[in-house]
Amino acid sequence: MAVPKKRTSKSKKNKRRTHWKAAQPALSSCPHCHQPKQPHRVCPHCGHYAGREVISPETEEG
């Protein structure tokens, strides 16, 4: 069975992991209110999805 002869250094390990970062979420504009939202999700601003209102939007009262 293959076993490493030497320990992998911190710099070698970190160089290998340089591309392991979180990507920004994709955003599209809502066709109803034109606010940015994630694709295939209900718009958090107006509550519309696929041309109809799915949830009622929350209003801030204060």
Residue 2 lies in a domain: no
What is the pLDDT confidence band of residue 6, given thresholds at 50, 70 and 90?
very high
Residue 11 lies in a domain: no
What does pTM read for this prediction? 0.57
Give the whole-angstrom CA distance, residue 36 versus residue 14: 35
**For residues 44-48, average pLDDT:** 91
Q: Is the pLDDT of residue 20 over 70?
A: yes
CA angle 19, 7, 21 (to 5 degrees): 15
Q: Is the pLDDT of residue 62 over 70?
A: no
Residue 39 lies in a domain: yes
58 or 7, higher pLDDT = 7
Half-sphere exposure of 45 (CA within 13 A, CB side): 10
Give the whole-angstrom CA distance, residue 57 versus residue 39: 18
Residue 35 lies in a domain: yes
Residue 5 lies in a domain: no
In the predicted model, what is the mean pLDDT of the chain? Answer: 89
Place of tokens 């290998």: 16
Enclosing domain of residue 42: 26-62
Residue 20 lies in a domain: no
Looking at the structure of the chain, the number of domains it has is 1
